[in-house]
Amino acid sequence: MPIWLDDSPLRQAADAPAGTLIWTRHVSAGQRLAQLGVPYYGGGSNPEHAPHGTTIAVSVEAHGTGFNLQHGWSRNRVLVPMASAELWEQLTGRTHRQGDRDKV
């Protein structure tokens, strides 16, 4: 279990407005966000069933699994930058789908 010397970036992320997805690559960051009151959906869990319009933390590993999160979330916060433009596009594509007009 990691020891947090300064978790102020996670606290700032936890204060995100409603309808925000907080993307994290590290399980320990997701677990800490959960302790701060932000539900965490790690690899293998399905964030599509989370209460829509709330702020949730999601594993970056879920970005390529086809989840369609646009109906409940319209903002993205990324705690760890993606290594390539393709990964950025895939991650943000979970909430911003071209051609779809029925945003929340």
Which pTM does this prediction carry? 0.79
Supply the pLDDT for residue 17: 92
DSSP 84: S
Residues contacting residue 36 through CB under 8 Å, at least 6 positions apart:
10, 11, 14
Q: What is the pLDDT of residue 101?
A: 53
Q: Which residue ranges of the chain lie beneath pLDDT 50?
A: 102-104
Tokens of 69: 């999160």
